[in-house]
Amino acid sequence: MAARQMRLGLIQMAVHEDKLENVKKAVSLIKKAAEKGSSLIVLPECFNSPYGLKYFPKYAESIHQGDTAKALSTAAKENKIYLVGGSIPENDNGELYNTCTVWDPSGNLLCTHRKVHLFDIDIPGGIKFKESEVLKPGKKLTTFNIGPWKIGLGICYDIRFAEMAKLYCKDGCNLLIYPGAFNMTTGPLHWELLQKSRAVDNELYVAAVSPAQDASAEYVAYGHTMAIDPWGKILSSASFGEEIVYADIDLSVVEKMRQQIPLISQRRTDLYDTVLKD
């Protein structure tokens, strides 16, 4: 495909308690997605670790020197693809983060994104979770480029914050990627809705990548990895199990929608605006 077109490979993989096996599986699925023509491949949130407060300290490792990062760098280089490494628990001098890495086809680390909005919620009869008991929040928004594509990153709960997506749109993004692990309380209600909202509000593509569901886990993920186009159309979607979702995206779709419904130029910035603070 030309640079203005790109095939996404979104890996909804099963994650268990053996870190080495999780990473080995991720590498195998990356190779499979690359063989199907994917030039940008995305892993899910916490792909090398079960999702849970007690697991974060046990599985955390250095982004720059850890075995997971080395495996991702090698996988990107061997398959000659761009790789969004979902997220892993990061240990940075004793402080823990939920961190996404991005690798280029030469195996170089392009950027990292630390989850900005920590998942602290309490839904009676549903779910209670407080990431801030263990994790620190990230302090910046993160973008990277693949030719004419500018891509903004978020992790899971970040997708709920429309201002963050708007700032990415203002910065010229035409694709947003969210590795995430919504649960069985919020997932059926909000997972698809939020992706469509971020896509239509900002007239860009959105891809959100979940682990496969493990009904025996303490935290049961909703799955349903999917890709949404700027019109809010689902391009492709998984169900609950392990699966690779493919989506062919085209920059002209973004451009045409922004011409036909010119939201960006019609914003009344004399009355309101969304501003990134230093």
- Give the residue numbers annotated as catalytic, written as ranges: 45, 115, 156
Amino acid at 255: E
Torsion angles phi and psi, residue 234, rounded to 5: -75, 120
In Å, how far from its chain's centre is CA 214?
19
Task: Name the residue among 139, 138, 153, 58 with its Cα closest to residue 103.
Answer: 153
How many C-beta neighbours within 10 Å does residue 30 have? 28
Give 6-46 as a DSSP string. EEEEEEE----S-HHHHHHHHHHHHHHHHHTT-SEEEPPTT
Question: What is the pairing mode between strands 40-42 and 82-84?
Answer: parallel
Q: Which residue reads 């899910």 in tokens? A: 44
Distance CA 10, CA 5 (A): 16
Distance CA 39, CA 5 (A): 10
